[in-house]
Structure 1
Amino acid sequence: MNLDNFRPRDLGELSVWWRRCGMPGSLPALSAPIPSPWSAELVGDPQAAAAEWTRFSLPYEAALALMQVRGADAGTALARAVAMLDEIDAPAAAALARKLAQRQGLSGLLPKVQRGPYAAARRHPLGLTQHEQKVLALIAQGISNKEVARHLSRSPRTIEHHVSSLLGKLNAANRMEILLRLRGEPWLLTGTHPLEPHQTGP
């Protein structure tokens, strides 16, 4: 594999995912230094990598790094990963972290599973979570994923996850279809269907 045209950051990400996925063999020796936090994980210190991701306000990447911790600290690391992923509404990744903990006999150390949809999702006719509603409101303003991530202090990958979920829940193929649907159904931004009775109590 020719890696000459890769940027150091991209090389770092490729190398880390190569290892995480258990790919056979190894990548060719890298000629350029890999920036942190990729380099921290590659030298066997995923907790240091997670600390760096957290410093950059990228909780999704921090949680993925914590999921690589093995040994005596694995239980604490996985518990932190699950808590972070639950906080940013990343259920698929949180489920994977729980599965890893189960395989290692560490399930008892994890936060309790949140039963059913979040309260905001239960109230919204299409099951949008609170974070998804925030992302939807910003999409309605024509803001790009990168700008949404900056506005909400989330990683671009986390926002991509939310946008992907929105596309599915709104049955849209792309952002333009989301905007067209919002134009015809503006109530989606408030979560209250005009034909539904308003709740007066809990």
Structure 2
Amino acid sequence: MTELDVLQAVRLKGRATADQLVATTGLDAAELQQTLDQLVAAEHVIAKGPLVRISDTGREQLAELLAAERADIDTDAFAAAYSSFRDVNGDFKALITDWQLRDGQPNPHDDASYDAGVLARLPRIHERVSAVVDEAGRHVPRLSRYGTKLDEALAKLSAGDTSWLAKPIADSYHTVWFELHEELILAAGLTRDAEAKAGHAQ
């Protein structure tokens, strides 16, 4: 599954360095670099300086790998897991909105009590999404790592660094959540566009 892991990570990140891909996949650095070199040679990934991005042929290859992965999934059981994610996703979206906006205006984060109240809702959301990740991981084992990544982001938040809630270009809680959502959509055989039209996409 290494080729799938790396192609999917590159696609989700858009553009990424090898170090970022190591962090997001959990693969050994040497193993990741070897796979990345092979993908560049096959023109599935395009390298420009330290950054890589997926190519059109890489997207085609990834689609084939994901389709093969889906063929072994218990679709009904996975659909149930994804339905549970949809439920908790609404609560997480509301939390992020309340963190970023207050009374319809950008939150200046000058009211510690307000911010603490918003963040106090996260542990329960984390508990619920962790159960979803556990179930999804039983069907697609590589998805289990999202539980670890969410745990790590929550730990940084709990230590007082609130930037790890929605920090861009980092594996913040929101970034990991977005990538998990994309993984679940694809594993369920759906598309983000269809989910957006149904009101389920983030």
Which range, TM-score by smaller chain? under 0.3
Give the alignment's TM-score, normalised by structure 1. Answer: 0.28
Larger Rg: 1
Q: Which has the higher contact order (CA 8 A, sep 6+)?
A: 2
Give the alignment's TM-score, normalised by structure 2. Answer: 0.28
More helix by share: 2
More strand by share: 2
